[in-house]
Amino acid sequence: MIKRKLMMVERIMYVDPETPVNCVFAAKIKGEIPEENFKTALEKIQQKHPLLRAVIDTKTEKYPFFIEEKDIAPIPLRIVERKTDQDWLLESQKEWKVLFEDEKKPLARVVWVKGQNVSEIFWAIPHCISDGTTGVTLMQELLQLLDDPFFELQPYQPFSSVNDFLPPSFNVKSKKYKANLYLLFARFFFLLQRKSKKRNLGQDYVLHRKLDSETTSKITEKCKANGVSVHALLCAAFMQAFQEVKGADAKGKVISPVDVRHFIPEIKQDHLFAFAPTVDLSLKKGSYDLINNARQIKNDLIQKIKKMEARELLWMGEQMHPIVDRMISMLKSSNGGHDVTLSNMGKINIPNHYNNFTVETIFSPTVAFPWLNSNTLTTSTYNQQMDFIFLSNEDFLPKAEATIIKEKAIALMTTSV
């Protein structure tokens, strides 16, 4: 039975009952799937994951909480006729804006863009229960069960609070003192801030680009030859592209989420979880040497990950519930100090070939944030092809500028040294 308060980080991604923040995870397949297989597959997936049998109650207590709904409806399946290769992207943008507000319906939907022998299938899930790894897990399970409806999934017990992740050595008393100081400082900071009415009123948009396997291979070989990671090269290339296009308005910084499962092994690879701790990665001012920048970013990332205390971050976050609304308000009205939030999921571990169909490709996830600085880049690699999704809002970064930045960054990555 699940009944727990949303963690602070979940509350930020939930925003409020009127603001949808939905992640979309899509795959393109070739082959025919019986419609009845979806019913069985979604039923088994819902039985495995406790949060897919829960709803969010915002009325009963001071803060929103997850509560298991005994009469929960099945995960809905929406079927759309496939007419073009871009239909999945158009349908996913529709799903960004649809709230999960029904008290008897689960926090997930599936859309099947159905064509003759080719389809796109995608999950739409609120970000407050889902990170990138969650999307991969749900897609993996769905494809496995669509191919073999008799396959069995293993349910797991939900955690009751972040205290479940604290080691015996965690000194709550000393940490409480530190948390109270942070909270006091945060209250004072927000008190000094002038309330801004600035909001994004433009159109959210998505730019998609998939590289072929030859170009993807060139990027990985370039990284190996220079002793840098693909992630570091991505960060360096996009920050440099922002500098070249935005000039003095570029921030020279990216925010990079890290999978929390690296730090808290109790959160298994196949568990639904929303929190991804982040690191800030910066570019040296005036430096246009891409490889040297990537080396510096790689070293910086390694050092910051070593110092990261994910369990403490989760616990400290729980002490900040009184100021979450102010934090959300600031995100909605502040330009932020970064160019882009860059989430690189790396290689997607989903098989290509099944008995009854093949997976042609997996797309990087899309999500439209309500923040003023909504610049988001998600990347992933599947079947030796790197996939780029760039998302923002016309008010904050015009689509034409974003297109130039994206193409410049990819050109920097693919140009030979």
Q: What is the pLDDT of residues 191-208, one digit of tens each?
A: 777 777 778 889 999 999
Confidence label for 128 from pLDDT (cuts 50, 70 and 90): very high
Q: Which of 403, 412, 342 is nearest to 377 (CA)?
A: 342
**Percentage of the chain exceeding pLDDT 90:** 90
Structure token digits, residue 162 = 């972040």
Task: Mark whether 144 and 210 lie in a shared domain.
Answer: no
Q: Name the percent of the chain in helix, strand, coil, to the closest 5.
A: 40, 25, 35
**Percentage of the chain exceeding pLDDT 70:** 99
Mean pLDDT of 345-354: 97
Q: 151, 183, 211: which is the final residue of a domain?
A: 151
Q: Map tokens 């829960």 to a residue.
A: 54
- Answer for the pair 413, 233: CB distance below 8 angstroms, yes or no: yes
Structure token digits, residue 182 = 């942070």
> Domain of 325: which CATH number?
3.30.559.30
Q: Distances from the Cα of 74 to the Cαs of 41, 214, 272, 306, in angstroms?
A: 11, 42, 18, 42
Query: What is the predicted pLDDT for the residue at 182?
Result: 85
Query: What is the predicted pLDDT for the residue at 386?
Result: 98
Task: Mark whether 146 and 242 lie in a shared domain.
Answer: no
With respect to residue 276, please indicate whether it lies within any of the assigned structural domains.
yes
Q: Map tokens 């999945």 to a residue.
A: 88
> Domain of 91: which CATH number?
3.30.559.10
Q: Is the pLDDT of residue 286 over 80?
A: no
Mean pLDDT of 213-228: 96
- Amino acid identity of residue 7, one-letter, is M
Cα–Cα distance measured from residue 94 to residue 89, given in angstroms and rounded to the nearest whole number: 9
With respect to residue 165, please indicate whether it lies within any of the assigned structural domains.
no
Mean pLDDT of 7-35: 97
Query: What is the predicted pLDDT for the residue at 417?
Result: 45
Task: Mark whether 85 and 222 lie in a shared domain.
Answer: no
Q: Is the pLDDT of residue 181 over 50?
A: yes
**Domain count within the chain:** 2
Q: Is the pLDDT of residue 281 over 50?
A: yes
With respect to residue 183, please indicate whether it lies within any of the assigned structural domains.
no
Q: Is the pLDDT of residue 365 over 90?
A: yes
Task: Mark whether 396 and 294 lie in a shared domain.
Answer: yes
Structure token digits, residue 322 = 């009184």
Mean pLDDT of 349-365: 97
Q: Which residues touch 150 (CB under 8 Å, ≥6 apart)?
A: none
Mean pLDDT of 395-405: 97
Q: Map tokens 């000194």 to a residue.
A: 171
With respect to residue 192, please indicate whether it lies within any of the assigned structural domains.
no
Task: Mark whether 243 and 378 lie in a shared domain.
Answer: yes
Task: Mark whether 18 and 96 lie in a shared domain.
Answer: yes
Task: Mark whether 120 and 50 lie in a shared domain.
Answer: yes
Q: Which of 23, 26, 265 is nearest to 132 (CA)?
A: 23
Task: Mark whether 119 and 259 lie in a shared domain.
Answer: no
With respect to residue 118, please indicate whether it lies within any of the assigned structural domains.
yes
Task: Mark whether 219 and 120 lie in a shared domain.
Answer: no
Task: Mark whether 295 and 373 lie in a shared domain.
Answer: yes
- Average pLDDT of every residue of the chain: 95
Confidence label for 42 from pLDDT (cuts 50, 70 and 90): very high
With respect to residue 162, please indicate whether it lies within any of the assigned structural domains.
no
Structural domain containing residue 50:
3-151
Mean pLDDT of 227-232: 97
Query: What is the predicted pLDDT for the residue at 79?
Result: 98
**DSSP helix/strand/coil, 167:** coil
Q: Which of 332, 342, 333 is nearest to 241 (CA)?
A: 342
Q: 134, 151, 168: which is the final residue of a domain?
A: 151
Cα–Cα distance measured from residue 375 to residue 390, given in angstroms and rounded to the nearest whole number: 7
Confidence label for 97 from pLDDT (cuts 50, 70 and 90): very high
Q: Is the pLDDT of residue 242 over 80?
A: yes
Cα–Cα distance measured from residue 161 to residue 73, given in angstroms and rounded to the nearest whole number: 26
Pick the more confident residue, 177 or 141.
141
**DSSP helix/strand/coil, 67:** strand
**DSSP helix/strand/coil, 88:** helix
- Sequence-distant contacts of 106-109: CB under 8 A, at least 24 apart: 106/46, 106/52, 106/53, 106/54, 106/55, 106/72, 106/73, 106/74, 106/75, 107/51, 107/52, 107/54, 107/55, 107/56, 108/46, 108/52, 108/75, 108/138, 109/75, 109/76, 109/77, 109/78
Task: Mark whether 109 and 32 lie in a shared domain.
Answer: yes
With respect to residue 359, please indicate whether it lies within any of the assigned structural domains.
no
Query: What is the predicted pLDDT for the residue at 226?
Result: 95
Task: Mark whether 207 and 333 lie in a shared domain.
Answer: yes
Q: Is the pLDDT of residue 163 over 90?
A: yes
With respect to residue 194, please indicate whether it lies within any of the assigned structural domains.
no
Query: What is the predicted pLDDT for the residue at 60?
Result: 94
Query: What is the predicted pLDDT for the residue at 285?
Result: 77
Query: What is the predicted pLDDT for the residue at 215?
Result: 96
Confidence label for 416 from pLDDT (cuts 50, 70 and 90): low
